[in-house]
Structure 1
Amino acid sequence: MMKSVLLYYPFEVAENANSGSKLRPKEIHKAFQQWGSREGVNILLLSGNSAERESLFEQWKAEGKLDDLWFCYMENQTIPFWLTDKGHIPKKPFIDTKVMKFLKQRHVPVGVFYRDVYWKFDELYPLKGAKKAIMKTIYRMEENFYNKYCDVIFLPSDAMGKFVDINREKVSLPPGGKESQIVRNERVNEKAQGLYVGGINNEDYGLFLLLDALQLANKEGSICELTVVCREDEYKGLPEEKKARLQEMNVAVKHVSGEALNALYREMDFAFIPRYRSTYNDFSVPVKLVEYLSNELPVIATYCQAQQEIIETDDYGIICEDNSTAMAKAIENMAKDAEHYRENIQKTFLQKHSWLARVEKIKSTLIK
């Protein structure tokens, strides 16, 4: 009999995945299907709103589809899973407990990916007063639920583990990289081409720290040019003096995505993640990091713990402190050595960090 693996997503999978949190469940599902067809394992995805999950679960149970489950992998969302129905009111509030009890009785190992603990940080969590107290209680219930029914807690990084009050084995499972067909464009420019993709309206992201560093690096003579890719409305909302500064420094500002962004990746030499270091940034792994690396772009990043670990372990770029002097030095070194880092990425990145590699890690962690 063919083994089956249950993917349990207590939410509706987004059709249009425009953010890391929506992209991940889709990519993991695709990689599971790829792995399943290679290993001869049947992949069952149980997702949708609570009513849809309930009816599918009952149907599969009746058909005997859940008789031979090997293990179960679950994803959560940034809000507790009881609230993922439209309007945040579950039609079938007990379905998740029902599924987990079913798995526990049959001794099926369960691992959950626990996405985020921003609710534990007052400066990051927007709710105030009674609402906040209620939500924190529900988040704690969710932690208790995982403690009761799950064998392993997968996290975006090891560094996040100490903020998660669940007494279970914790294993890091950062976002995965994708294979992309990369044909690098011929160099027309002597100067190194650096890229920043992301938010520009939040000091924390460090774009203006990057500009200070770039000014220092280019002081003796221009060695690096910068392209910034951001949302158009964010750019329009920038104060005039910040726009003027980007123009004075000849920074190319673009609002591209999809194929146009892929084409841009091919023209660049390396990319930046200049975030300021904080407790939260220490354990979050920006999806941009794996996107840059998937496109064979070495990365200059600040010394936030989780991103530092991925970049330094296999020498995919340069880590610096979150100040302009240190970053300027990193830019000078990267302008000379980008090729060396790119070769390292080509050698090991996909083999270690593809979504398929993440699926194999899930399996080897849950099936000892």
Structure 2
Amino acid sequence: MPNCIFHIPYNVDPNWPSGSNIRPIKMINAFKENGYNVEVIMGYGKEREKKIKEIKNNIKNGVKYDFLYSESSTEPTLLTEKNHLPLYPFLDFGFLKYCKNHNIKIGLFYRDIHWRFSQYKKNVNIFKRLVAYIFYFYDLLKYKGLIDILYLPSKKMYEYIPIKLNCRVEELPPAFEVFTNTHSKSQESKKKELINIFYVGGVNPQLYNLEKMFSVINRENKYKLIVCCRENEWKSCSKRYEKYINDKIEIIHKKDKELDEYFNEADVVSLFLEPQEYWKFAIPVKLFTYISYGKPIICCKNTAVGEFVNDNSIGWVIDYSEDSLSLLLKQLFNNKEKIYIKNSNISKIIDNHNWKARGRKVINNLTS
């Protein structure tokens, strides 16, 4: 069995369903499904230090590792301890250098560049920002001398990285685990005088502005919108949306398998969000959740999501305006066959967008 090393410089909480925690677990399993024995380095510094010593001993004793795959934290590498102090300043990058010196190829997934955008400035005070900026730049400088392949959610994100790393750049967006095509279950809605739209995700207008969708649904009688979000986020943002709420808009707070019944009822799903600069490169996990249920996607032009949806013909990419959305929904209502054509296109791309395929891509990149 071939061996590889999986490294993340932080602790994963399996009970908190965020993208930064889901993805590492999926990638570990993806390497295993592709036939690899995976040595995992993760946790707080003390745990990582123990595992690194173990792997170094293995290397000294002749164990061969085909590659090292790492994923960055949304925080700077040196500030991922509970107290956010740099207590292990040489641990992670020292180990990457050790692997490089032993001719082990290194691929690193750079998770996000949120710290370069206005929402970060709005949510983090200036002192913490200045400290974080120093360490974010330090990460990039270290990557420049260590990694062979930089993986990004989309290649467009590279334009926003302030230091050019002079290495190969590849896309490695999120994926889905199980394809649950609910196409047949939603066929009944073809006979209904209704289009069911489902949205799962954030509702904070700073990044997830849903007002135009709410406004269109509010004044139409042929559509129903269900929005699933975290309860605490809805409480903090509900005043922005409450003027639109009526019996055609329902807010729920569900997760995991509780969502199945809502996807079953949905005709289409929504990523119709204001196309801020961040969305030009960001690929949210929910895009692949939608794909896993075989549901066509409504999204906006000038976004990475829109480009993906358009390239694969799995939904509709429209202007971010109430008129454009209203016109599209009217077209779908009058000809629901359009929905089922997009649905069938999703089935054609699933083998390329599950987690096993993501693992296979990394293996092929780093072993060829």
Same fold (TM over 0.5): yes
Unmatched 5+ residue regions in structure 2? Answer: none
Aligned counterpart for 2:50 among listed residues 35, 40, 55 = 55
**Is the contact made by 1:300 and 1:331 (CA closer than 8 Å) also made in structure 2?**
no
Instruction: Report Cα offsets for 1:108-138 as digits up to 9, x if no partner.
Output: 1101000111212245333344432222111
Amino acid at match of 2:203: I
Please give the secondary structure, in 2, of the residue aligned with 1:69: coil
C-alpha distance in 2 between matches for 1:60 and 1:344: 44
C-alpha distance in 1 between matches for 2:214 and 2:367: 48
Amino acid at match of 1:233: N
Amino acid at match of 2:202: G
Q: Which residue of 1 aligns with 2:8?
A: 9
**Is the contact made by 1:300 and 1:330 (CA closer than 8 Å) also made in structure 2?**
no
Aligned counterpart for 1:145 among listed residues 137, 142, 145 = 142
Q: Which residue of 1 aligns with 2:116?
A: 120
C-alpha distance in 2 between matches for 1:239 and 1:132: 28
Tell me how far 1:90 sits from its aligned partner.
4.2
C-alpha distance in 2 between matches for 1:352 and 1:109: 24
Aligned counterpart for 2:306 among listed residues 303, 308, 324 = 308
C-alpha distance in 2 between matches for 1:240 and 1:60: 53
Alignment of 1:341 with 2:342, yes or no, is yes
Instruction: Report Cα offsets for 1:172-204 as digits up to 9, x if no partner.
Output: 111112214445436263312111222234254
Aligned counterpart for 1:254 among listed residues 252, 255, 275 = 252
Please give the secondary structure, in 2, of the residue aligned with 1:10: coil
**Is the contact made by 2:150 and 2:170 (CA closer than 8 Å) also made in structure 1?**
yes
C-alpha distance in 1 between matches for 2:81 and 2:234: 34
Q: Which residue of 2 aligns with 1:363?
A: 363
Identity among equivalent positions (%) equals 26
C-alpha distance in 2 between matches for 1:58 and 1:324: 58
Instruction: Report Cα offsets for 1:222-279 as digits up to 9, x if no partner.
Output: 43221122233344445568325211x5212222222221221111111111211121
Q: Normalising by the residue count of structure 2, what TM-score does the alignment of the two structures yield?
A: 0.90
Q: Which residue of 2 aligns with 1:94?
A: 90
C-alpha distance in 2 between matches for 1:324 and 1:241: 17
Q: Normalising by the residue count of structure 1, what TM-score does the alignment of the two structures yield?
A: 0.90
Tell me how far 1:329 sits from its aligned partner.
2.0
**Is the contact made by 2:218 and 2:249 (CA closer than 8 Å) also made in structure 1?**
no
Q: Which residue of 1 aligns with 2:64?
A: 68
Instruction: Report Cα offsets for 1:25-58 as digits up to 9, x if no partner.
Output: 111111111112xxxx321111122221122221
Tell me how far 1:79 sits from its aligned partner.
0.5
Q: Which residue of 1 aligns with 2:294?
A: 296
Alignment of 1:106 with 2:105, yes or no, is no
Query: Taking structure 1 as reference, are residues 206 and 81 closer, same or farther at Cα in structure 2, changes over 3 Å only?
Result: same
C-alpha distance in 1 between matches for 2:62 and 2:88: 20
C-alpha distance in 1 between matches for 2:274 and 2:264: 27
Amino acid at match of 2:286: K
Query: Taking structure 1 as reference, are residues 59 and 239 closer, same or farther at Cα in structure 2, changes over 3 Å only?
Result: closer
Please give the secondary structure, in 1, of the residue aligned with 2:269: strand
Q: Which residue of 2 aligns with 1:78?
A: 74
Aligned counterpart for 2:154 among listed residues 149, 154, 157 = 157
Count of residues in Structure 1 that have an aligned counterpart in Structure 2: 357
**Is the contact made by 1:158 and 1:306 (CA closer than 8 Å) also made in structure 2?**
no
Q: Please list every run of at least 4 consecutive aligned residues from structure 1 whose deviation after the TM superposition is greater than 4 angstroms.
A: 237-241
Q: Which residue of 2 aligns with 1:269?
A: 267
Query: Taking structure 1 as reference, are residues 97 and 296 closer, same or farther at Cα in structure 2, changes over 3 Å only?
Result: same
**RMSD of the alignment, in Å?**
2.1
Aligned counterpart for 1:213 among listed residues 206, 209, 216 = 216
C-alpha distance in 2 between matches for 1:241 and 1:283: 26
Amino acid at match of 2:358: R
Q: Which residue of 2 aligns with 1:172?
A: 171
Amino acid at match of 1:278: Q
C-alpha distance in 2 between matches for 1:236 and 1:108: 49
Amino acid at match of 2:323: T
Query: Taking structure 1 as reference, are residues 304 and 288 closer, same or farther at Cα in structure 2, changes over 3 Å only?
Result: farther
C-alpha distance in 1 between matches for 2:361 and 2:244: 46
Please give the secondary structure, in 1, of the residue aligned with 2:63: coil
Stretch deviating more after TM superposition (116-125 or 68-77)? 116-125
Tell me how far 1:213 sits from its aligned partner.
3.1
Query: Taking structure 1 as reference, are residues 82 and 203 closer, same or farther at Cα in structure 2, changes over 3 Å only?
Result: closer
Amino acid at match of 1:343: S
C-alpha distance in 2 between matches for 1:174 and 1:334: 29
C-alpha distance in 2 between matches for 1:237 and 1:107: 51
Amino acid at match of 1:131: K
Please give the secondary structure, in 1, of the residue aligned with 2:120: coil
**Is the contact made by 2:217 and 2:248 (CA closer than 8 Å) also made in structure 1?**
no
